Structure 1
Amino acid sequence: MKEILMFVQAGCPHCKRALKWHEALTAKFHPEWAQVPLRIVDEEVEKELADAHDYYYVPTYYVDGVKIHEGPVTQQDVEKVFAAAMSAE
């Protein structure tokens, strides 16, 4: 399984919604997702790391260095990100 790198910003309602989707989907349908390494980066705290990645909107997800999603999320978007992380290496 691959690491998910998620860029967020404090106070971002889309980021909060994305994190709620993570929790809800993991608890109800995909307990295996709890094992996926997930690094959540506040772009204001880790500015250098954020600046090293090509994105404009948050939340933004990278899986194994590849941008999978950027901007407001739906349940399907979160599922797509975790599916990419769970895929064979």
Structure 2
Amino acid sequence: MFEKVNRSGLIIYLYYNRDAKKLQEYGDICYHSKKHRYLQLYVPTEELDDLVERLGKERFIKKIRRCHIQELETPFVGNLYRNEENVII
């Protein structure tokens, strides 16, 4: 059916909010902050370097940052419940 595609996130700061529509062809827009004029764009990881280079040449983009959420460790070790024995009063 569907294959899982590894994607990476980009935070793209814009000069004007009206230019957000132009970025829909590059990937999936997950979030767009109209007040702070940035958006979060998810693109395939294989195309990330080429895409950052192409987007860096666009005049309507102020700044591009990469998301580092993939680098965080997600398996949490330990118990979330508080032990009554280990509490010091």
TM-score computed with the length of structure 1 as normaliser? 0.29
* Higher RCO, 1 vs 2 (CA within 8 Å, ≥6 residues apart): 1
- Which has a greater percent of helix? 1
TM-score computed with the length of structure 2 as normaliser? 0.29
Structure index of larger Rg: 2
